[in-house]
Amino acid sequence: MAGTLVTPAETYRADIGIRGETIAAIGNDLRGAKTIDATGKLVLPGAIDPHVHLEMLQGTAMSSDDFESGTIAAACGGTTTIIDFVEPEMHGSLLAGLEKRRAQADESSVIDYGLHMTIRSGDADTLAQVPEAIRAGCLSFKAYTTYEGFRLDDEALVAALEAVGRAGGIVIVHAENHYSIQRLRQRFAEAGRTGPRWHPRSRPVAAEGEAVERVLSLAEIAECPVYIVHVSTGRGADAVARARGRGQRAYGETCPQYLLLTDAEFDRPGFEGAKFVCSPPLRPADNPPVLWKHLAGGGLSSVGTDHCPFFYETQKILGRDDFTKMPNGLPGIESRLSLLHTFGVALGRLSLNRWVEVCCAAPAQIFGLYPKKGSLTPGADGDIVIFDPAKEVTLSTQVLHEHVDYTPYDGFQLRGWPVMTIVRGKVMVEEGRFVGPRGQGKFLVRN
Ligand code: URP
Ligand code: ZN
Ligand code: ZN
């Protein structure tokens, strides 16, 4: 292949030899039955997106990418593994929830996938199931501090952290202060402030800052590793960085939308701001520079997309008269690697190696997939992205494969795009076209 291999530690020219589904050798002048020329291109471990919501029901709205369309879009953007979620019934069996979710994904996912298990209550029966959920492959457990029907109060959260910590897992947390959000929503409703612009104002920076600090403290007390999803504020990122500095097993994830977009999007005319309604919300412009600083410096560990697409015309519209009724979430599963290359590497905010670390290696390491996934070493799965750092792409729904009628990055000029995605030795995407077999994605047991 003779491309330039990029790993978190090294950048060097070499060939990769693949036998069957696995990387068999890395060296010079390797020969095989089929040769792919990667001259002038970067060769990366397949990217891992640790945070996506495919065909997820939110209220009455189903996120619009299913496991097939969503994983095709992911593969087109250079992502070869996703981690989605199991949402079991309240007080229901975790394994039954896992089985149900796998029935949706097993036949349709075109790339390999893992599942985080959601903990919806801190009762003893639910928490007693944590070890068997880990044995079944769900090493990571999602907890929410807000959202009715999902949120855990501090008592339940501590119990969940203790149970998961004891069992050797990791808790991942959506951290925002529930009560302050409820009060602000109530106050805005009474004042007739129901448009999308009031969404970010109802979930202020301090609501995330407080919750991140609290969750980190509770995880420290419970002696459980913790991963804060979608850190959107400088304040949240500073808190994670401080915890890591104290030696706590704490990790922070941010997302392209928090690095690249701001709450100025809500000044768009009419209902257009609805395209940007996600939780936590987009933030004032003083936040992204702090996120970039921590992403480069190790205070934040990874970038996920939180891909949770809803059609603007038919689904976001559910919140036309009341932003609290709007399905929350943004599309982004396809553009993460290129956005981070363009606005990270090409602008000098991230080294090539750090780019690969935050998009590929670190999610695999944190979530029990490494070195099978996220690494270019003999014995690893043949998950490889050939990335042309000079290819220019202007983002639009025409270019993307995501099943949704808009992209929050419409018109963004990207520098660098994947030209080939290989999953377990099979070419899945070539020059922007999905050419792989359907339904070959495997559930990844992470324990
Ligand atoms: O608005 C968002 N982020 N929707 C997806 C669910 C979540 O909170 O991650
Ligand atoms: Zn969330
Ligand atoms: Zn999410």
One DSSP character per residue, 366-389 reads HTT-TTTSS--STTSB--EEEEEE
DSSP E strands: which ranges in 20-94? Answer: 22-27, 42-45, 47-49, 57-58, 61-62, 79-86
Q: Between vectors from CA 351 to CA 173 and to CA 422, what angle results, nearest 5°?
A: 75
Q: What is the mean pLDDT of the chain?
A: 98
Task: Decide whether any atom of ligand 1 lies within 6 Å of the 15 Cβ.
Answer: no
Residue 282's pLDDT is 99
How many angstroms does the Cα of residue 280 sit away from the middle of ligand 2?
7
Residue nearest to atom 2 of ligand 1 (CA): 329
Determine the pLDDT at residue 141.
99
Q: Give the helix ranges, DSSP H, for 2-115.
A: 67-76, 94-105
Nearest CA to ligand 1 atom 5: 329
Q: Is the pLDDT of residue 7 over 90?
A: yes
Question: Counting beta carbons within 10 angstroms of the beta carbon of residue 321, is it exposed (0 to 12), middle (13 to 18) or buried (19 or more)?
Answer: exposed
- pLDDT per residue as tens digits for the range 144-203: 999 999 999 999 999 999 999 999 999 999 999 999 999 999 999 999 999 999 999 999
Maximum distance among all Cα pairs of the chain, rounded to whole angstroms: 71
User: How far apart, in whole angstroms, are the C-alpha atoms of residue 169 and residue 157?
Assistant: 14
Give the closest ligand to the alpha carbon of residue 329.
1
Question: Prior bond to 371 cis, omega within 30?
Answer: yes
For residue 425, is it left (φ>0), alpha (ψ between -120 and 50) or beta?
left
Ligand 1 pocket check: which of 278, 283, 330, 333 to mutate, most ligand atoms within 8 Å of Cβ? 278
The label of the residue with tokens 């202007």 reads 394
Question: CA 429, CA 447: separation in Å to the nearest integer?
Answer: 30
Q: Whose CA is nearest to atom 9 of ligand 1?
A: 306
The response to whether residue 263 sits with its C-beta less than 6 Å from ligand 1 reads no
Altogether, the residues listed in the chain come to a count of 447
**Mean pLDDT of the 336-365 span:** 98
Q: Who contacts 315 (Cβ-Cβ below 8 Å, separation ≥6)?
A: 61, 64, 327
Which pair of tokens denotes residue 112? 């390999």
Ligand nearest to the CA of 304: 3
Per the listing, tokens 């007739």 go with 192
pLDDT > 70 fraction of the chain, expressed in percent and rounded = 100
Q: Using a 6 Å cutoff on CB, does residue 384 contact ligand 1?
A: no
Contact 341 CB / ligand 1 (< 6 Å): no
pLDDT at 127 over 80: yes
Using pLDDT thresholds of 50, 70 and 90, give the confidence band for residue 63.
very high
Contact 140, 171 (CB under 8 A): yes
Residue 419 scores a pLDDT above 70 = yes
Tell me how far CA of residue 162 lies from CA of 157, 224, 225, 242, in angstroms: 9, 6, 10, 22
- CA 322 vs CA 196, 317, 402: distances in Å: 8, 10, 27
pLDDT at 206 over 70: yes
| pLDDT for residue 233 | 99
Which amino acid belongs to residue 126? T
Ligand nearest to the CA of 305: 3
**pLDDT tens digits, residue range 103-122?**
999 999 999 999 999 999 99
Q: Measure 15 CA to ligand 1 centroid, in angstroms.
A: 40
What's the 279 CA to ligand 1 centre distance in angstroms?
A: 5
- What local confidence, expressed as pLDDT, does residue 267 receive? 96
pLDDT at 2: 79
**Alpha-carbon gap, residue 431 to 52, rounded angstroms:** 24
Region 364-378 average pLDDT: 98
> What are the pLDDT digits (tens) for 253-272?
999 999 999 999 999 999 99
91 DSSP assignment? T
**If pLDDT is split at 50, 70 and 90, which confidence band does 132 have?**
very high
Regarding the beta carbon of 176 and ligand 1, being less than 6 Å apart is answered no
pTM of the full structure: 0.98
Residue type at 279?
S
In angstroms, rounded to a whole number, what is the distance separating the alpha carbons of residues 225 and 250?
A: 6
> What local confidence, expressed as pLDDT, does residue 115 receive?
98
Ligand 1 and 308: CB distance under 6 A: yes
What pLDDT is attached to residue 447?
A: 87
pLDDT confidence bin for 1, thresholds 50/70/90? low
Q: Which atom of ligand 1 is nearest to the CA of 328?
A: 1
Q: Whose CA is nearest to atom 4 of ligand 1?
A: 329
Query: The tokens of 377 are what?
Result: 């070493």
CB 329 near ligand 1, within 6 Å: yes
Ligand 1 atom closest to the Cα of residue 144 is 8
Which of 53, 202, 203 for mutating ligand 1's site (highest number of atoms within 8 Å of CB)? 53
Instruction: Work out which ligand 1 atom sits closest to the CA atom of 279.
Output: 1
Q: Which ligand is nearest to the CA of 231?
A: 2
Choose which residue among 52, 306, 310 to substitute to test ligand 1 binding: the one with the highest number of ligand atoms within 8 A of its C-beta: 306
Ligand 1 pocket member 215 (CB < 6 A): no
Strand (E) or helix (H) holding 321 = none
Which sign does the torsion angle of CA 413, 419, 425, 427 carry?
positive
Q: What are phi and psi for residue 85, nearest 5 degrees?
A: -130, 145
What are all long-range contacts of 215-221, with beta carbons under 8 Å and residues at least 24 apart? Answer: 215/145, 215/157, 215/173, 215/175, 216/240, 216/243, 216/248, 216/250, 218/154, 218/157, 218/158, 218/161, 219/161, 219/165, 219/171, 219/248, 219/250, 220/248, 221/158
CA atoms 373, 48, 400, 172: torsion sign? positive
What's the rounded Cα separation, in Å, for the pair 156 and 60?
27
